[in-house]
Structure 1
Amino acid sequence: MNKKIVILLFVFTTLLSGCWDVTEPQRMYYVHALGIDFKDDHYETYMQIIDFTNIAKSEQPTNPDAQQAEIGHAKGKTIEESLFDLYHSIDQKAFWGHITYIVLSEEVMKSNKVNQVIDFLTRFRETRYQIWVYGTKEPLNDLLVVTPINNKALTLSKLGDPLNSFRQESFVRPINLRELVIGLNEPSHEVYLPLVSIDKGWVSSKGESESIELKGIALLSKEGFKGAITQDKANGIKWMTNKTIRGEVTGQMGENNTFVTVTLDHIKVEIKPVVKNDNVQFDIDIKMEANVLGITEKITTTEIRQEVKKQVKKEVRETYKEGLALNTDIFRLSEQLYRKDVKNWKKLEKNGKIELTEDSIRNINVTVVKVNPGRESFIETIEK
């Protein structure tokens, strides 16, 4: 009897179909990034296909002269039509499960097409909500062909792996698709994207070199593109989030008013809405630790604390005013009232956010909890 069962099992297993419908990994193209533009009432799509065979076992391409990726370009009345046009020229199946980031052109944001992009990405079963999202004013075909410094793998680029460099210098926090959807669908229905550009300030032995640079932030709402804040005017955003890991301020300290750079970390932010007579204002408390990088003369911890407070307050105010000029709740103060006092939020909100003025921020309290001198040789230079 046992022999009959074994024979039957053997016969049945030979009839199983197996994984006949699975595409072999070497017979697929892997989409690493996508750029979307909008011109003349048509979407222009740029698909970056990465060559994993050259970097799969190393953080650097095994062949320095081999190209890491190719960029395909097509047009269509919809994003999907442009992609199907790209499929006409692709030799193998395109796999979307490894897409890491998407870059939106200024024209897409200005034309209020971001919702269509989100709809496209969230409907397709292979894409994920962890895709990084950026904005740019640069030509997408030029941006997507920039390779990392020292020819590092594209998977480790500033766009593909933004958290790596963010830990060292937290200028603009990277935003993924999930956070973009939440930001646009909850008060104040506004969100910022990291604004990226091409930096041509690098030089190699072969001549001029390029890299990707964080230029500032692009501000979006449900109604469309609100504008951009760039360079130092955007510095205030890093002091208004607990997710900032490390930032810097430079100020003048000591008897000779020499410039000193201090890094700030362990940042904790608390925003308190204060409602009086149907008028809302906000008290902002920011706590942090300071680390001294370099000193040329004796300064006191009191001087360091005072200068850090001065610079952080200045940067927060300046960025807030830049946001107001663009009619944007850049620090999402409306959400703070919504979370902490929804009853008053319902009374004061208009179109999902509250009206803000320069006086809406009542107080900014900055506390430097600790001053770390850094190297032991600095301890004698910093006076208590």
Structure 2
Amino acid sequence: MPIPQSILIVKRSNLMKKFLLITSCVFLLCLSGCWGMKEVQHQIYITALGLDFKKGQYYVYFQALSFSNVARQEGGSSSSEEPPVLVGTGKGDTLEEAFDYIQRSSPSPLYFGHISTLYFTPSMLKHHLNEFLDYAGRTEVIRYNTGVFSIKKDIKEAMSLNGFFGKSPAFSFTFNPGEVLENDSFIPTITYQNLIQRYRQPVGSMLIPSIKVEESQWQEGEKPKSIVKISGGYLLAHKKITGWLNINELEGINWLDKDTTRLYLVYNEKKIGVKVKRPRVKIKVMGAELTPHYRISVKVPVTIQENLKEISQTEIKHIVAAQVQKQIKRTFQKGLDLHTDVLNLSEKAYRFDRYHWTIQELNELTSDSIDSIKVKATLLNTSAYK
């Protein structure tokens, strides 16, 4: 008696299911799973690197944090004890030797995947930055979103400081500047990606913010609290450091920075204070000259924060416009003194009309290179001031 067709179909289906199950099990046996995974406590996680060159040798400073402390602080638990900060020092005739120097003395393997901050001393920036970029590019030690700062001295002290209320350095400005600059964009910051992109650019410049250890502004209990504070920045142009400007001399950069979200202006003579939200700038390149000239237009939306002498709104707008114009001119002139295009005006001509001038002509900036700076202040909110 022949087997019904429906029974044959069911049997074939069952055989297919068994075949697929066996095949899946065979492939699963080939997977490695997590057999090679290391436990968190079995590695030392480097969170910041400091680089210096002195006495003919490279010095590399390694900062490591305890992630158990960071996790506990993120979870909201409090502790009166400051979390430990581990700082190691490696030195050598080459960067490779300096890195190996500290790794040989470590009781556990070093892991570099969590590096969030780079600190360079002036000697490293001025004379050996190219060597570091070459080394980091070949070894993939640094992530592209790593923040970059410079520090003149006290590099080990700066890397050893904890944050406020006993928090780890992971909650400090150099690890996460975005939160602070969102409220007051007083200086532009850069990442390792910005550094390697701009290092070989033939025009313009890049600012590397500099920090210092400050203990006169804050006090914890009866003791002064040491913090890292922005002091200014080094200007990098054409593969070299051209000079350093303090924080006040760099104020004009902020008005031309597309990432500026909020700034504050104070005019002491009239007792006026205003908040500026997201200024907008346009730079027009004039091409009739042997060298490019520029016309700068800035729109400044302001909110009045303080007006003790009850100055009229019209006068306030004039004062704000004059202050912004003054800061841009001052920063531009400070750059000229260092033979540096600190405002990156030449980059505009290089990007959009690069064949009209040579690289040399683009870099020939003078005090007459800016035809005009027009600033228009508009009132967003008077904050109850009439």
The normalised TM-score by structure 2 is 0.89
- Equivalences for 1:1-384 in 2 at 5 Å? 13=28, 17-59=32-74, 62-111=78-127, 113-125=128-140, 127-188=142-203, 190-201=205-216, 202-251=218-267, 257-346=269-358, 349-350=359-360, 353-374=362-383, 376=384, 378=385, 382=386
Contact kept in structure 1, 2:82 and 2:167, CA below 8 Å: no
Contact kept in structure 2, 1:290 and 1:368, CA below 8 Å: yes
CA drift of 1:212 comes to: 1.1
Contact kept in structure 1, 2:213 and 2:229, CA below 8 Å: yes
CA spacing shift, 1:3–1:344, aligned 2, 3 Å: closer
Paired residues in the alignment total: 369
CA drift of 1:78 comes to: 1.7
1:288 match: secondary structure: strand
What amino acid is aligned across from residue 198 of structure 1 in structure 2? V
Q: In 1, distance between residues paired with 2:27 and 2:148?
A: 50
CA drift of 1:339 comes to: 1.6
Contact kept in structure 1, 2:87 and 2:160, CA below 8 Å: yes
CA spacing shift, 1:89–1:343, aligned 2, 3 Å: same
Moved more, 273-282 or 47-56: 273-282
Q: In 1, distance between residues paired with 2:69 and 2:371?
A: 56
CA drift of 1:22 comes to: 2.6
The normalised TM-score by structure 1 is 0.89
> Unpaired segments of 5 or more residues in structure 2?
1-14
Q: In 2, distance between residues paired with 1:31 and 1:49?
A: 5
Contact kept in structure 2, 1:31 and 1:94, CA below 8 Å: yes
Contact kept in structure 2, 1:47 and 1:73, CA below 8 Å: yes
Q: In 2, distance between residues paired with 1:341 and 1:36?
A: 38
What amino acid is aligned across from residue 248 of structure 1 in structure 2? Y
Tell me which protein shows more strand as a share of its residues: 1
Q: In 2, distance between residues paired with 1:343 and 1:12?
A: 59
Deviations 1:335-356 (A, max 9, x none): 111122122133xx22x94200
Contact kept in structure 2, 1:345 and 1:354, CA below 8 Å: no
Q: Which has the larger radius of gyration?
A: 2
Contact kept in structure 2, 1:289 and 1:372, CA below 8 Å: no
Q: In 2, distance between residues paired with 1:44 and 1:61?
A: 37
Q: Identical aligned pairs, as a percentage?
A: 27
CA drift of 1:174 comes to: 1.2
CA spacing shift, 1:353–1:137, aligned 2, 3 Å: farther
> Unpaired segments of 5 or more residues in structure 1?
none
Q: In 2, distance between residues paired with 1:263 and 1:4?
A: 71
Q: In 1, distance between residues paired with 2:256 and 2:23?
A: 69
Contact kept in structure 2, 1:251 and 1:259, CA below 8 Å: yes
Contact kept in structure 2, 1:226 and 1:326, CA below 8 Å: yes
Deviations 1:63-121 (A, max 9, x none): 3314332100111112221111100121111111111010100111122x112222233
2:53 match: secondary structure: strand
Q: In 1, distance between residues paired with 2:77 and 2:151?
A: 27
CA spacing shift, 1:353–1:119, aligned 2, 3 Å: farther
